[in-house]
């Protein structure tokens, strides 16, 4: 990636658990473009009065942003930015990361959909069974002909659509207003969520965390789903009413749930999800931000910032995403 030389380098502060790696990447790939003024994974190490440009993990940034009188721009290192979007201080530009999660999310979602449709767990159980019953051939299903419902028909979800279509699935989606999106047979608004649920063989939640999307997956939505449906949550933990989901699973109103994100992380050791036979827990690993990808986004935006051009992936404090 090449950049034009600025008149004077931009001073950036890095506050991240990957601060040292970000510092090395920016120093290597941005000669003359910027200098790293401060970098640490500890809020206490950073002087907020020196910050004008910040590259940061949102949860760490949320502790220091209210105390940054000169902050002009913060580049988040995460896709989820609820800690910053909820802050009263909003007199700066906040940019997120996009278009780096599609490949990982494709693999995560379809690995689990195939796990259920091809009955992987049942085959594993039969392999361990004694006697001739281990050769019993359980029925399997095909994803072809099934309907995949995606909650949050945005940029990450776009990576799922062509794979679903190639597998013969019908794709429907949900966004705030039911705005049509290319590749979806139909999109529904939040108010129409139960109409969408009634058609779904599988649901993937990728919605951002906003007041409107919290507990969007609650009792009425879960009751509208067919009992054979599978739920995958790789969006935000706050989207699910945990008690309602556990009740649906316990009463066999849902085949299973694959959960990657939770209201409290790490998921507490005593939480019933860990031991529930119809829940698969993954540790917020569906799509991970790699520092090299985030650094590329930041460097592109830094060049735009120098040239007074609009920045990429600006977040709207009012909308919450």
311 prior amide bond cis, ω within 30:
no
Phi, psi of 311, deg, nearest 5: -80, 155
Q: Please, are residues 1 and 300 in contact by the beta-carbon 8 Å criterion?
A: yes
Q: Which sign, positive or negative, has the C-alpha torsion 276, 277, 283, 289?
A: negative
Question: How far out from the chain centre does Cα 93 lie?
Answer: 21
Using alpha carbons, list the distances in angstroms from residue 146 to 122, 140, 165.
Answer: 21, 13, 10
Q: Please, are residues 229 and 258 in contact by the beta-carbon 8 Å criterion?
A: no
Q: Which sign, positive or negative, has the C-alpha torsion 35, 39, 45, 48?
A: positive
- For tokens 């529930």, the residue is 276
HSE-CB for 163 with a 13 A CA cutoff: 17
**Which active-site residues does the annotation give?**
236, 284
Question: How far out from the chain centre does Cα 26 lie?
Answer: 25
Distance CA 110, CA 159 (A): 11
Grouping H, G, I as helix, E, B as strand and the rest as coil, residue 275 is: coil
């Amino acid at each position: 990636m090449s950049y034009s030389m600025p008149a004077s380098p931009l001073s950036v502060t890095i506050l991240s658990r990957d601060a040292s790696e970000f510092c090395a990447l920016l120093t290597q790939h941005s000669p003359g473009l910027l200098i790293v003024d401060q970098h640490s994974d500890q809020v206490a190490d950073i002087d907020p009065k020196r910050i004008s440009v910040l590259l940061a993990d949102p949860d760490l940034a949320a502790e220091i942003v209210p105390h940054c009188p000169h902050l002009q721009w913060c580049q988040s290192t995460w896709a989820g930015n609820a800690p910053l979007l909820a802050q009263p201080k909003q007199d700066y530009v906040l940019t997120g990361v996009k278009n780096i999660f599609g490949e990982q999310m494709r693999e995560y979602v379809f690995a689990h959909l195939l796990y259920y449709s091809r009955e992987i767990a049942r085959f594993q159980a039969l392999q361990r069974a004694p006697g001739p019953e281990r050769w019993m051939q359980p029925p399997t299903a095909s994803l072809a002909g099934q309907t995949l419902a995606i909650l949050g028909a945005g940029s990450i979800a776009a990576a799922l659509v062509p794979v679903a279509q190639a597998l013969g699935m019908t794709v429907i989606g949900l966004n705030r207003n039911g705005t049509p999106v290319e590749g979806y047979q139909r999109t529904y608004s939040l108010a129409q969520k139960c109409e969408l649920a009634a058609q779904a063989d599988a649901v993937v939640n990728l919605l951002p965390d906003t007041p409107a999307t919290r507990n969007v997956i609650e009792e009425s939505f879960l009751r509208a789903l067919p009992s054979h449906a599978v739920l995958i949550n790789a969006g935000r933990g706050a989207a699910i009413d945990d008690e309602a989901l556990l009740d649906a699973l316990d009463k066999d109103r849902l085949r299973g749930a694959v959960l990657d994100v939770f209201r409290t992380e790490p998921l507490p050791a005593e939480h019933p999800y860990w031991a529930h036979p119809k829940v698969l827990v993954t540790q917020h690993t569906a799509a991970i931000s790699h520092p090299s990808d985030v650094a590329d986004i930041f460097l592109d935006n830094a060049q735009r910032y120098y040239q007074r051009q609009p920045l990429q992936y600006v977040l709207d404090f009012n909308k919450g995403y």
